[in-house]
Every structure is written in C-alpha cells, then in structure tokens.
Structure 1
Amino acid sequence: MIDENLPPAMAKSLAALFAGKHEVVHLRKKFGPGVKDTEWIAALNAEGSWIIISADRRITKNKAEQQAFKSSKLVGFFLSSGLQKSKLTKQMERLMALWETIEKQADLVSGGAMFEIPIKSTKLKQI
C-alpha cells in the first residue's frame, strides 16, 4: 500500500514492475481521498498483512495513529524527512535500491513494526 502522501504514479509504477509478485495499490484508489489514518489502518488490519510505504511521519508520532499502527498486523516503511523532500525520482531510486531489504525485513517482523527508509544508507532504522 502506497499512502496518500506519495503520488499515485509511484503505486502504478511499482504495481507494473512487480505484477504477479506483489499487489501494489495507492491508498486513494482503495479508500478515496482524505480517509483518516486510523480508519485505513483499521480497515487494512482487518484484511490481514499489508506492507505500507509512507511519507506520513505523523503516523509515527501522533499517539492515536501510532497506537493504531503498532497494534495492527501492518508493517510500515516511512521515508526519512530528507527523502520526503526529495524528487520522486530520488524516492523511487531509494525504494528500488532497498526493495529486497524491505521484503526481507517485512518477513522477519510481526505487525506493528515501523522502519525508516534512509536517503543515503542501505540500512533500515526501526522507529
């Protein structure tokens, strides 16, 4: 799931690239624009295991959103603040460089885990 703070084009590109291996959907396509974080977190949690790629660091800091996420079956990968401010091409470059690491990390952890996607490093930092 690509969150609402990232462009739908990112989700479309990743969906095409990983067709048959991963279902990649933009949050707006599934829930419409402006859905509250606690609502989509609860809905995706009810569906089962989802991996979230997000530029919404508020989820990691706001108590209600953080609690909803940490008690869910979701695993989140959040762009670092520097990466959030970067151009889409840089964001995609980092996602592609770390995609296998993201896949492996998601398989290793249980739901509610949050990680930061760095702008330069090859290591994910747990949030």
Structure 2
Amino acid sequence: MKLRVFFDNNTSPVLAETVGGYLKHLGHRADHIRDLPCGRHASDIEWMEFLASTSDEWLTVTGDARIQKNKAERAAFRKAGLKGIVLANAYQKTPINRQASFLIWRWPEIQALTKLAPPFLFEVPMRNSSGIRQLPI
C-alpha cells in the first residue's frame, strides 16, 4: 500500500517537499498540512480526525512532542489509529537541508516502523549514533 507522510505545522513545508521528492521514487507521497483540505489552521485534533477519515495509510511527522502529553491529543491520536514520528528538539536548531538529509538517511529505519500496528509514536534523534526510541502514546 502506498504510504502518505503527513508533516504538521511544527515542520517546514520545505522539509515536506524535499523529503517528498525522495519518497516519490519509492512510490510514496508527502503532504504538508498547508496543502491538505483540513488546512494550515486546523488544530491537532482536527488534522488527526481528517487523516483518520481517509482510506490512506499515514505516517505523521511532527516537531512537537507535546502530542504525547496532552490528554485530548493523545486520545485523538490513538482513536485515529495513527503512526507517528517526533523529530527531536535538535531538528528545530538545524538547517532544513540537514534535517531533510538526515530524515532521508534514516528512512529505511523509519519505513520499517510503518509495518508496526498503530497507534505508535517514535522519536527520531538528530545523532547517527542514537537509536529511534518509542514514546508512550
């Protein structure tokens, strides 16, 4: 099944487009929230409900780890049956070109996670030597 990768407002549209270029050759697609019908101003709960309403397999990418701490958002994420990765804080301080190259470099590990049953949330660190770690959801 074709995987769609969703980038929320805590990520750059440029990051989504750059990673999307790579994913396209794998038969997948990347979408930034600004380009979807729910729109850039959708709350986290609204975009989660939108993703759940489609028949697509989604992997969400966010720079906001609070998604696992906010009770309403956690419940919505679980209810929507989403798969997600959180970019570690270091991504926010890193130029977009390096963010994209690092995500692409780690893509085989990330794609392997998509075979797991949802819901799940993993944090992708910015260091090569650090492993991807599961977050409670």
Please show how residues 65-104 of structure 1 align to structure 2 within 5 Å. 65-104=73-112
Identical amino acids, percent of aligned pairs: 29
Kept in 2: contact 1:72–1:111 (CA 8 A): no
CA RMSD of aligned residues (A): 1.5
**Aligned-partner SS, 2:31:** coil
**Aligned-partner SS, 2:73:** helix
Unpaired runs of 5+ residues, structure 1, are none
**Aligned-partner SS, 1:45:** helix
Kept in 1: contact 2:22–2:104 (CA 8 A): no
Kept in 2: contact 1:5–1:54 (CA 8 A): yes
- Larger relative helix fraction: 1
- Larger relative strand fraction: 2
1:41 aligns with 2:48: yes
**Aligned-partner SS, 1:35:** coil
Aligned counterparts of 1:98 and 1:122: Cα–Cα separation in 2: 11
Aligned counterparts of 1:96 and 1:16: Cα–Cα separation in 2: 10
Q: Which range moved further: 62-71 or 14-23? A: 14-23
Q: How does the TM-score come out when normalised to structure 1?
A: 0.89
Q: What corresponds to 2:3 in structure 1?
A: none
1:112 aligns with 2:123: no
Moved over 6 A (4+): none
Q: Deviations over 1:80-110 (max 9, x none)?
A: 1222332212311220121010001111x11
Kept in 2: contact 1:71–1:111 (CA 8 A): no
Q: CA deviation at 1:122?
A: 4.6
Aligned counterparts of 1:80 and 1:16: Cα–Cα separation in 2: 22
Aligned residues: 126
Q: How does the TM-score come out when normalised to structure 2?
A: 0.83
